[in-house]
Amino acid sequence: MTPPMATVRTRFAPSPTGALHLGNARTAVLNWLFARRHHGAFVLRLEDTDTERSVAGGEAMIYEALDWLGLGPDEGPREGGPFGPYRQLARADRHRARAAQLLESGRAFRCFCRPEELEARREAAIAAGEPTGRDARCRDLPAEDMRRHEAGSHPAAIRLRVDSGPVEFTDLLKGTLTIDGDDLGDLVLVRSDGRPTYNFAVAVDDIDMEISHVIRGVGHLSNTPKQVLLYRAFGVRPPGFVHIPTVLAPGGGKLSKRRGAAGVLDYRDRGFHPDAVLNYLSLLSWSAEDGEEFLSPEALVERIDLDRLGAADTEVDEEKMAWLSGQHLRAEPAERLARRWAGVLDVQGLGLEDADLRRAAEVFAKRTRLVADARAELESIFRAPDLGGAAARQVLSAPEAATATRLAREAWGGTAWRPEPLALALRDAMRESGLPGRGFFPPVRVALTGQPHGPDLGEVAYALGRKRTLERLAAALS
């Protein structure tokens, strides 16, 4: 999609009513990727006017989720910027000024009808099979009636004059769409209590913040013609609208707490790699031209193309997200992965140093999909083996156990400490012993980990380190 403006500016405008779930996060991902792809700006604007549903700490949870995913805004409540404030409630003066501008230009008018009157007439229109949006009683009040109403105590709402006839707008995925102005009616911009309506506030804020592309869920499609009318009333070119399909629960249906609507931070706490969640969310609406699915954030930025967005709803697939998490873990530099693992391990209790974690990351990343998987993998290896248990005693008391353990210790004593040389040296020791593999390897494995099964012994020894490995073999011999 060719940007209609010189500078691409996208926005993510959640309500701080709770944790960021996958559907909202997918919207943030696409806005961030598209802005980065075109060297533009990604704006966070909080639509905090729903004070009844707002959650204490909701803003902090949104930022925490975005930061974990690596979606740092360029402008927002925390970052500031040239188009602030970035909280909708704090923009009330700007909304009033914009409403006054439309009144002065004649594009809007004051409506003195009471809400109960409007509701009664709406029900009558429904009963008569007529459009419900058009209620022109106050549209062209004579000046005398206007002054009389203004002198009264009842405050007025402000409504946009909407002409009859087609209202056309374009969506990237759905093409050109049309709705009749009579079906929309004269839109309420500001309620009689002074509060702006959602569509008026959103349009004013998008205009003021020079948003070039509005990428949002398809549930907002019905709002688009109303906002387009406001752009035209202000004489401003509308942004490019992209309404992305709905994210469904596994098996279909609306996301809910019981059906796949876990918050983004829940996936962090379960050990998913953040780049994998970002990668997965991008694939809920978009696909690379070559079909590649494992993509780094940098690759996603380079390849994102709104023309390749799909229009079909898509279901959450945690298995696929976990697979991507494993791919991203394996691709991560060992030093960085070691730092992630340090956050989920009892480092002090296991006596682990940074070098131990780096070695383990080199050889065991391929055995994990979630960061939390390191707990089971590494603790079983680094925890001191219980050689006094019945299973360990049975293996170590076999006639060939002492020979195997001694030869392994001798072979490894002078070997370069890398997985491949360690594995080769151990196989050479086995051939020297004359023992079959099933008699040679189990005592060595039990001596190192206390377990009869596990990863390749060369990798185990490498992860444990020379000093710890030789000490454990000596302990088993004694």
Full domain range(s) for residue 33: 9-77+200-246
Nearest 10 degrees: CA dihedral of 341, 342, 343, 345? 90
Residues shown for the chain: 478
Q: Same domain, yes or no, for 58 and 22?
A: yes
Domain final position from 209, 229, 246: 246
Q: What is the pLDDT of residues 376-429, one digit of tens each?
A: 889 989 999 988 888 888 888 888 999 999 999 999 998 999 999 999 999 999
Domain assignment of residue 176, yes or no: yes
Q: Same domain, yes or no, for 413 and 352?
A: no
Tokens standing for residue 229: 């009318």
Q: What is the pLDDT of residues 145-203, one digit of tens each?
A: 666 666 666 788 999 999 989 999 999 889 999 999 988 989 999 998 899 999 999 99
Tokens standing for residue 214: 């509005």
The neighbouring-strand residues paired with 170 are 176
Confidence of residue 3 (pLDDT cuts 50, 70, 90): very low
Domain final position from 319, 347, 381: 381
Enter the pTM of the model. 0.89
Q: What is the pLDDT of residues 281-335, one digit of tens each?
A: 999 989 999 999 999 999 999 999 999 999 899 999 999 999 999 999 999 999 9
Q: What is the residue-averaged pLDDT of the chain?
A: 90
Confidence of residue 336 (pLDDT cuts 50, 70, 90): very high
Domain assignment of residue 293, yes or no: no
Q: Give the long-range contacts of residues 402-405, CB within 8 A, separation 24 or more.
A: 402/443, 402/477, 403/433, 403/435, 404/429, 404/430, 404/433, 404/435, 404/439, 404/440, 404/441, 404/443, 404/444, 405/443, 405/444, 405/447, 405/473, 405/476, 405/477
Domain assignment of residue 260, yes or no: no
pLDDT attached to residue 260: 52
Q: Same domain, yes or no, for 53 and 109?
A: no
Please check whether residue 1 is in contact with residue 271, taking contact to mean a CB–CB distance below 8 angstroms. Answer: no
- How far apart are the C-alpha atoms of 276 and 417, rounded to whole Å? 32
pLDDT attached to residue 248: 87
Q: Same domain, yes or no, for 235 and 216?
A: yes
The neighbouring-strand residues paired with 158 are 110, 190
Catalytic residue selected from 254, 257, 320, 366: 257
Q: Same domain, yes or no, for 68 and 215?
A: yes
Please check whether residue 435 is in contact with residue 403, taking contact to mean a CB–CB distance below 8 angstroms. Answer: yes
Q: Same domain, yes or no, for 396 and 358?
A: no
Amino acid (one-letter) located at 159: R
Domain assignment of residue 374, yes or no: yes
- Name the pairing type of β-strands 188-190 and 175-180: unpaired
Query: Taking residues 246-272, what's their average pLDDT?
Result: 79
Nearest 10 degrees: CA dihedral of 203, 209, 210, 211? -70
In CATH, what number is assigned to the domain containing residue 430? 1.10.10.350
Domain final position from 208, 228, 246: 246
Nearby residues of 389 by Cβ (< 8 Å), 6 or more positions away: 450
The three state secondary structure string of the chain is CCCCCCCCEEEECCCCCCCCEHHHHHHHHHHHHHHHHCCCEEEECECCCCCCCCCCCHHHHHHHHHHHHCCCCCEECCCECCCCCCEHHHHHHHHHHHHHHHHHHCCEEEECCCHHHHHHHHHHHHHHCCCCCCCHHHCCCCHHHHHHHHHCCCCCEEEECCCCCEEEEEECCCEEEEEEHHHHCCCEEECCCCCECHHHHHHHHHHHCCCCEEEEEHHHHHHHHHHHHHHHHCCCCCCEEEEECCEECCCCCECECCEECCEHHHHHHHCCCHHHHHHHHHHCCECCCCCCCCCCHHHHHHHCCHHHECCCCEECCHHHHHHHHHHHHHHCCHHHHHHHHHCCCCHHHHCCCHHHHHHHHHHHHHHCCCCCHHHHHHHHHHCCCCCCCHHHHHHHCCCCHHHHHHHHHHHHHCCCCCHHHHHHHHHHHHHHHCCCHHHHHHHHHHHHHCCCCCCCHHHHHHHHCHHHHHHHHHHHHC
254 a catalytic residue:
no
Q: Same domain, yes or no, for 419 and 444?
A: yes
Q: Same domain, yes or no, for 21 and 169?
A: no
Q: Same domain, yes or no, for 31 and 71?
A: yes
Backbone dihedral angles phi then psi of residue 127, each to the nearest 5 degrees: -60, -35
Q: Same domain, yes or no, for 99 and 172?
A: yes
Domain assignment of residue 41, yes or no: yes
Domain assignment of residue 294, yes or no: no
The 10 Å Cβ neighbour count of residue 345 is: 21
pLDDT attached to residue 18: 78
- How far apart are the C-alpha atoms of 330 and 363, rounded to whole Å? 10
Q: Same domain, yes or no, for 120 and 167?
A: yes
Q: Same domain, yes or no, for 67 and 205?
A: yes
- How far apart are the C-alpha atoms of 374 and 359, rounded to whole Å? 13
Top pLDDT among 2 and 221 is at 221
Domain assignment of residue 261, yes or no: no
- Name the pairing type of β-strands 240-244 and 41-44: unpaired
Domain assignment of residue 104, yes or no: yes
Amino acid (one-letter) located at 200: F
In CATH, what number is assigned to the domain containing residue 17? 3.40.50.620
pLDDT attached to residue 356: 96
Number of folded domains that form the chain? 4
